Every structure is written in structure tokens, then in C-alpha cells.
Amino acid sequence: MDKLIIANKEFNSRLLIGTGKFSSSKVMAEAVEASGAQIVTVALRRVDITDKNDDMLAAIDRDKYLLLPNTSGARTADEAVRLSRLTRAATGINWVKLEVTPDPYYLLPDPVETLKAAEILVKEGFIVLPYINADPILSKRLQDVGTATVMPLGSPIGSNQGIKARAAIEIIIEQANVPVVVDAGLGLPSHAAEAMEMGADAVLINTAIATAAEPVKMAVGFKLAVEAGRIAYLSGAADQSKRASASSPLTGFLRNE
Amino acid sequence: MGVLKINGKETVFEENKIPATIEDLLKSLGVESATVIAELDGQIVERAKFPTTELRDGQAIELVRFVPGG
């Protein structure tokens, strides 16, 4: 498959995977491996000093995967910037999945705070991948300040509803000059394939894999769907029509007419 | 008596028993330092400086790390 390029870095996989909600770190590590993903999102939280086995991510090989820290939990630009600076200072990772979600019910991203944070972080040298509503104008504004991607949501985080914002995502894809990653809400491999067929550059999946009855198998399902969708996009879809168009010859039937 | 605010929670230590450095604090908590990120009174402390960063009564320290997330 053709390579995904984000901020001049090449990736063989167009599936990004989140590490939340897995039943164990073992299942998580196996699912990440099976997905073929090379970009893996993580969150930053206080250490649970009462739990010696708190380090769930020990199972992820940090040399093999690009860890993409998110700013989940941030409700304002300032909080997101603080989290990003903390992460970079301590780990050297300057990639950030920027998410500013003040509304706990739908976890929809705040466009004003997201743009504000993106502007600050890009100036400070971060590679910013912002999670946004499917808003074509916001996408343009973010690209203008220098984000490395835009990541419109298909539907609310963890809802598994699929692509509810199709028309707006199509406009974003049409106008984007950075990779478009459809993030959030994709519940089935068919949703991921749909995003890729539309011309999205990549998708980010977490809940649909992590909470499947068999996460490792589902990771494979998404891997194949992303590849299929990308190949379909690159192949140029055949025309749709309202009426049937016979695939077999309409002559030489074995009857007398 | 000495007090450190660890992850937002005030933790009381007996007189002169406050861990001397961040490294000592992590050891006393049984937390593996290799994956921990620390912020002392709002200032980020590089991991390499954990053994030499001294702790004093009344300071606030945030200990964070990567956790699973989407």
C-alpha cells in the first residue's frame, strides 16, 4: 500500500490505534501488533501511587511504535498546552494528538480552544494532530497555523455510530493539504473502509477494537478494511446508476426471438 | 512534621522524614521511575535530575505517566 506521510515521516499503515479500554495490557499489546498500526495513542495521567502494577503501557515497545500522546482531559487550550509541554520535556516526544473536550457528555471538541492551543504548540515546535468536529473551515484554519493533520470525528468518541458527518468530511478531504485522519466513532471495519473509500488518509480506532469480544481478531478486521478502502480509493470507483446494467452479454441467448 | 502535596493529596511525613530527592520519593512509593514524569511546584523536572532534585516541606509534586488512551 502507498505510504502515509505525516510531518515528513513515512508510515506503512494507515490505521492508527488507541490503547484505552482493553481488558488487559496483554490483550492490548497483541491487538496493537495484529492491527499493523505504527502510531499508537496514549494519555497522560497521574500515577496511581497505591497500585504497583499501574504501568499498563510497559507492554508496548516504544522503539517499534510512535507513541502519540493525547491531551485528553484538557478542557481549555491552556490545559492542553501544559500537558503537551510536560510530555515533551519528560519524554522528548513532540507529537501530540490535541484534544480539548470540555463537554463530558458528548466529548465534542471545543473548536476555539483547539485552534488557540494548536497555534501555540505549532509555534513551540510541536507536531500537532488536532481532533476536531467535522468542520471544513476549522480544518482550514488549523492547516493555516501549521498542524500536521486534521482529525475530524465520524461521530462522538466511543459511540461506534460510524460516519455521521459524511458530507462535511468529504469537503474537508477535498480541501485538505495535510493528511485527514477520521478519528472517533468508527465502530466497524465497514465504517473504516467507508472513510478510506472517501479518500481519508487514515483512520484512528480504539473503542471498536478494545471492547470487541475478540479484540485481536477485530484489529485484523480493521487492518484489512483500511487496506481495502484505500485500494478502492486509489482504484477509482465505478459509476453508480439508478438502473441495472447487465454484466453478461445481452446477445446469444439460448432461445428463439 | 513535614508535608508534601503528592498528586494533589497532602501527605504527612514525620520530622526530617521527607524523602531527600524525587528519586527517593519514588523508591519509597515503590514506583518505577523510568516511566514517570514529574512536575515540582509547577516546574517540569527532567528524569535525569530525579536523583539530585531535593524535596522540601510544603512542596507540591505531580507524578504522571502514560496510560492507555485513545
**Per-chain mean pLDDT for chain A:** 93
Q: Write the pLDDT tens digit of every residue in A92-139.
A: 889 999 999 998 889 999 999 999 999 999 999 999 999 999 999 999
Give residue A52's pLDDT band: very low, low, confident or very high (50, 70, 90).
low
Reported as half-sphere exposure (CB side, CA atoms, 13 A), residue A169 has a value of 29
Nearest to B65 by CA among B23, B26, B24, B35: B35
Q: What is the pLDDT of residue A62?
A: 81
pLDDT score recorded for residue A203: 98
pLDDT band of residue A90 (cuts 50, 70, 90) is confident
Q: Do B67 and A57 touch (CB under 8 A)?
A: yes
CATH number for the domain running over B2-64: 3.10.20.30
Domain ranges within chain B, ordered by starting residue: 2-64
B66 three-class SS:
strand
Subunit contact B68:A22, Cβ cutoff 8 A: yes
* The pLDDT value given to residue A149: 98
- Asked if residues A96 and A69 have their Cβ atoms less than 8 Å apart, the reply is yes
pLDDT at A180 over 80: yes
The whole-angstrom distance between B42's CA and the closest CA on chain A is 10
CA distance A198 to A93: 31
A46 with B68: Cβ contact below 8 A: no
Q: Considering only CB atoms, which chain B residues are within 8 Å of A20?
A: 68-70
C-alpha cell recorded at residue A25: 495490557
A205 with A229: CB under 8 angstroms?
no
The pLDDT of residue A215 is 97
Q: Measured between alpha carbons, how far is A246 from A229 in angstroms, rounded to an integer?
A: 25
A96-109 per-position pLDDT tens digit: 999 999 988 899 99
Confidence of residue A53 (pLDDT cuts 50, 70, 90): low
Per-run averaged pLDDT (10 residues), chain B, 70 residues: 88 84 90 84 88 92 90
- Residue A54 confidence (pLDDT) above 70: no
| More reliable by pLDDT, A48 or A114 | A114
- Coil/strand/helix, residue A133: coil
List domains and CATH numbers for chain A: 10-235 (3.20.20.70)
Mean pLDDT of A146-154: 97
Question: Which among B32, B44, B70 is the nearest to A157, CB-wise?
Answer: B70
Task: Give CA–CA dist B44/A28, Å, rounded.
Answer: 30
Chain B residues with CB inside 8 Å of A41's CB?
69-70
Tally Cβ neighbours within 10 Å of residue A53: 8
Put simply, the answer to whether B64 touches A49 (Cβ < 8 Å) is no
pLDDT for residue A233: 96
Count chain A–chain B contacts defined by CB atoms under 8 A. Answer: 93
Q: Is there a contact between A93 and A63 (Cβ–Cβ < 8 Å)? A: no
Q: What single letter denotes the amino acid at residue A29?
A: A
DSSP secondary structure letters along A78-96: HHHHHHHHHHHHHH---EE
User: Mean pLDDT, to the nearest integer, of A45-67?
Assistant: 80
Summarised one tens digit per residue, pLDDT across range A15-37 is 999 999 999 889 999 999 999 99
Residues from chain B contacting residue A43 (CB–CB below 8 Å) = 66-70
Per-residue pLDDT of A211-224, as tens digits, reads 999 999 999 999 99
Rg over alpha carbons for chain A, rounded to the nearest Å, is 20
Q: CA of B14, closest CA in chain A: separation in Å?
A: 19
Task: Determine the average pLDDT of the residues in A143-163.
Answer: 96
CA distance to A55, A57, B24, per residue, from B29 (Å): 14, 19, 9
Cβ atoms A64, A11 nearer than 8 A = no
Interchain CB distance below 8 Å, B67 and A44: yes
Instruction: For residue B24, give the amino acid letter.
Output: D
Catalytic: A140?
A: no
